[in-house]
Amino acid sequence: MNIVLRELRSNLKSLIIWSGCMATLILIMMMEFEAYYDNPEMAGLLDAMPQALMKAFSIAGPNLTTLIGFVSIASVYFYIMLGIFAVLLGSSIISKEERDKTAEFFLTLPISRTRAISAKLIAAVINCLLLTGVTAAALYSSAAPYNPDQEFLRFFRLLMSALFIIQMIFLSTGMCTAAVIKHYKKSGNYSVYTLLTAYIISVVISMDNKIDFLKYFTPFKYFEAQYIAASGELELKYLIISAVIIIAGFTGTYLIYPKRDLYI
């Protein structure tokens, strides 16, 4: 319990900064939505844009003049932001003892490394839940002036669930990467590279349907907001794939980290 509280305190500043960034991003986006809301002229302007360009920026398909349509487009940025937070948190929470030169003290604690990992994991999940909660609160309060209906509320709940799952995927990826790679700087870099590669793959897939099979390799394609809005569900196959990735990442962390030498 002491380690959980220690990790929560040490990550509090980062959580506050990220929460502020997410709230600000959502506020700016919803202020921009005022220009689109029930505006047929704006819809006509978007229709005139090249489809390739719209696909590259993930704005092809949804009606941006509706609340669901606009939020479904904005969700791409939510996935990226919360994904970066989670992957960096996962990497740093494992490698921080080596980064902060507290590894020797960490080893003297009367607990096993496995138990320490569990405490760090609990703290990381709490941080992700809190950031998801801030995102949900900021988005809902910003959308309230536009009279969200039951359809939007159902979409909203599913989107927040998807955001948390995406965070867990990248949290497990970051933790496992830090467990495998001894040097704390490299583990953080590789974790971010993994996320950026996944995002680039998702953009390329959007532009060329011939490589649609690659969607299984990028979490950014698992829970596309446009699909959630249209179907009112999260696809089962991607829920299963997500669970496999998350379990594999956390299992790898538990198996590898206790056995490796700490980088001092």
Per residue in 140-199, pLDDT tens? 999 888 888 888 899 999 999 999 999 999 999 999 998 888 776 778 788 889 999 999
Domain around 212: 2-259
- Give the tokens for residue 196: 């950026």
231 part of a folded domain? yes
Residue 78: C-alpha distances to residues 11, 125, 260 (Å): 20, 17, 35
Token pair 């596309």 in the structure block, residue: 224
Tell whether 93 is covered by a domain.
yes
Instruction: Specify if 264 maps to a domain.
Output: no
Give me the number of domains the chain comprises.
1
Residue 84 lies in a domain: yes
pLDDT tens sequence across 15-47 = 999 999 999 999 998 888 877 776 666 555 555
Task: Examine residue 67 and state whether it is found in any structural domain, yes or no.
Answer: yes
C-alpha–C-alpha distance, residues 193 and 83, integer Å:
12
* Distance in angstroms (rounded) separating the CA atoms of residues 76 and 32: 16
Is 85 within a domain? yes
More confident site: 56 or 95: 95
For the whole model, what pTM was predicted?
0.87
The token pair at 136 is 């949900």
